[in-house]
Amino acid sequence: MAYRRIMGLDVGSVTIGVALSDLMGWTAQGLETIRINESQNDFGFDRLAEIIQTENIETVVIGLPKNMNNTIGPRAEASLAFGQRLKQRFPQLTIEYQDERLTTVQAERFLIQEGNVRRRKRKQVIDKMAAVMILQNYLDRQTK
């Protein structure tokens, strides 16, 4: 039986945090942060293609940063557009969206309180940590 992992993404305008599920689809682990340039249409698809192939990804969960009143703002629109581009490039993938309100705030709080991580280091890992929270929330929702 071939196991397939699920990939979680926290898509920003400068970086994409990447997380992967374990082989059973129970837990999320941070993988890396990919630098992108949204204004130049560089979305890190070459690196994502490597991960998708190497890790046998079939589902990608993209964080959807809705406004607090549950509406779709510019960042959520950018995440939806990213998902559409990803689906066009990799039609075999299932693209899912996970409400990610406050995940970046939660990730930063966690890194400050639990990890005692300095500000400079936090900036380097916060997107990856947010991707873990997005994916873990999705995985938890699947098991209910």
Superfamily for 5-143?
A: YqgF/RNase H-like domain (3.30.420.140)
Asked whether residue 130 carries a pLDDT value surpassing 70, the answer given is yes
Q: Give residue limits of the domains in the chain.
A: 5-143
Q: What is the pLDDT of residues 37-48, one digit of tens each?
A: 988 889 999 999
**Mean pLDDT, rounded, for 21-32:** 94
Which pLDDT score, from 0 to 100, does residue 1 have? 45
Q: What DSSP line would sit under the chain, residue for residue?
A: ----EEEEEEE-SSEEEEEEE-TTSS-EEEEEEEE-BGGGTB--HHHHHHHHHHTTEEEEEEEE---TTS---HHHHHHHHHHHHHHHH-TTSEEEEEE-TTHHHHHHHHHHHTT---HHHHHHHHHHHHHHHHHHHHHHHHT-
pTM for the complete prediction? 0.86
**Mean pLDDT, rounded, for 50-75:** 92
Q: How confident is the model at residue 103 (pLDDT cuts 50, 70, 90)?
A: low
